[in-house]
Amino acid sequence: MKKIISLVLTILFTTALFVGCAAAPAADSISESAGAKTTSGEPVTITWAVYETANFSADFYQHIIDSFEADNPDIRIEKILMTGDDRGQFLKTQLAAGTFPDVVMEANSVADIEGLFAEVPDELLSRYEDATIIETFGKKTLIPASMQYRMQMYYHKDQFEEAGITELPETWDEFVQVCEKLKVAGKIPLMGSGAKDIWACGSGYLITGFNSDLLAAYPNLNRDLLDGKVKWSNETASESMKAWKALIDAGYYHEGSMSFSYTQSAEEFKKGATAMMWDGSWTAATLDAEGDTSIGTFLTPNISGSKTYCATPVYWGVSNESQNKEAAFRFVDYVLGGNEDIYRYYLEADGLVSVTKVPVTYEQGPVMEEFISNYEGCTLIPEFFKVVGDDGLPVGMENFALKSMQSIFTGADVDTELAKWDEELARLLANAETNG
């Protein structure tokens, strides 16, 4: 547990370097707000935008809602399921339709819209580590919820043993050799995803390889991209992306990858269809819940040789146009630390890390313990598509890049695709300037 807390403190300190935490005007305190009853005396209803996964299931959300409503009979929670590949686009559609939810679980995805979220009461923000508190457009409008450890490589121990692999790879060349040994032994090295879930095709390599390689070459990548000092179509990016494409061209991926949704690919991997699969800490939580110790994890090497990893801060937000802000903030307050048992329940379900000043912890299983211990001696770096604030890339760029990686997976030329990234970034920035 000491290792976990040490890692969390490192994460929080590094986050402060990239997002900043300057002062903002004070907001009303939650405790000073009036009650949440309507003028008729009936409970008020607030809408909560969520997304569902194997860990964040319908039952998971219902447990939180039932607990909150039992303790707050004057408030009812209506769950709004964010559907489609792009949660940011879903929320923008809701905004255009005048049905934007009161509480948004993934506020990062629309944090670039000025005035969208209400200023957060200081009483609520005081619960969280200072390094997680950020400003957008000069105001504190995002509520720190958790940290999410990102991608590592999961592998079947028995398949490695059967292929004669006794040492986990520490360099990119060694990783390629592992893939080749597995293929020669009649194993399929890698599992991919392509259908329905845009993020699942390339995000594993995007985070562990491409992100690390680019930041090794350009430490201020986001700002340099925004200022036009660097283009996506640079030599480092080309070399890194071509290293990933070489895995595809060598036949190391499951031939059905592009027909699988993320859920299908994860299930196929767990059943042993492939030896390895990139995935996040949420899978470690799932494997521990199932008591599965046949699968291990390791940090994927990258061509730059940098020993780095990403842990993404997650933020919630309350709509600035909500007619029930007090009730909405009471709900957020309850889930994200006000009720410690519920906060622990939320964290544990998806292998998340607490961001409260008094850390909320939970018992780690063996896979999660291995996942976290793999980060010892590594440097935390930002995931460039997840940076929030002045250096955040425009919403839409990440999804464009992930769709482009799907095209690369199916045969598109790397340099041609990276040139398209440059064009899209210029278009998005021009639109943002036009729209104020």
- Tens of pLDDT along 407-426? 999 999 999 999 999 999 99
Contact status, residue 337 vs residue 126, Cβ threshold 8 Å: no
- pLDDT tens digits for range 321-344: 999 999 999 999 999 999 999 999
Please check the confidence at residue 176 and state whether its pLDDT lies above 60: yes
Residue 109: what pLDDT? 81
* 66 vs 83, more confident: 66
**Cβ neighbourhood burial of 214 (10 Å; 0-12, 13-18, 19+):** buried
pLDDT tens-digit series, residues 16-69: 434 433 333 333 335 333 345 555 678 999 999 999 988 899 999 999 999 999
The tokens for 429 are 């920035």
**Pairing of the two strands 295-298 and 152-156:** antiparallel
Say what percent of the chain tops pLDDT 70. 90
Give the pLDDT score at 315: 94
**Can you tell me the mean pLDDT for 284-292?**
91
The pTM of this model reads 0.79
pLDDT digits (tens, 9 = 90+) for 202-237: 999 999 999 999 999 999 999 999 999 999 999 999
How many C-beta neighbours within 10 Å does residue 52 have?
A: 14
pLDDT band at 132 (very low <50, low <70, confident <90, very high): confident
CA max distance for the chain: 72
Amino acid 13: pLDDT: 43
pLDDT for residue 37:
55
Average pLDDT over residues 181-193: 97
When computed from its CA atoms, the radius of gyration of the chain, rounded to whole angstroms, is 22
* Residue at 41: amino acid letter: G
Calpha distance 328→432 (Å, rounded): 29
Confidence at residue 347, expressed as pLDDT on a 0 to 100 scale: 94
Whether the per-residue pLDDT at 188 is higher than 60: the answer is yes
Residue 180: CB atoms within 10 A of its CB come to: 14
387: confidence class by pLDDT, cuts 50, 70, 90: confident
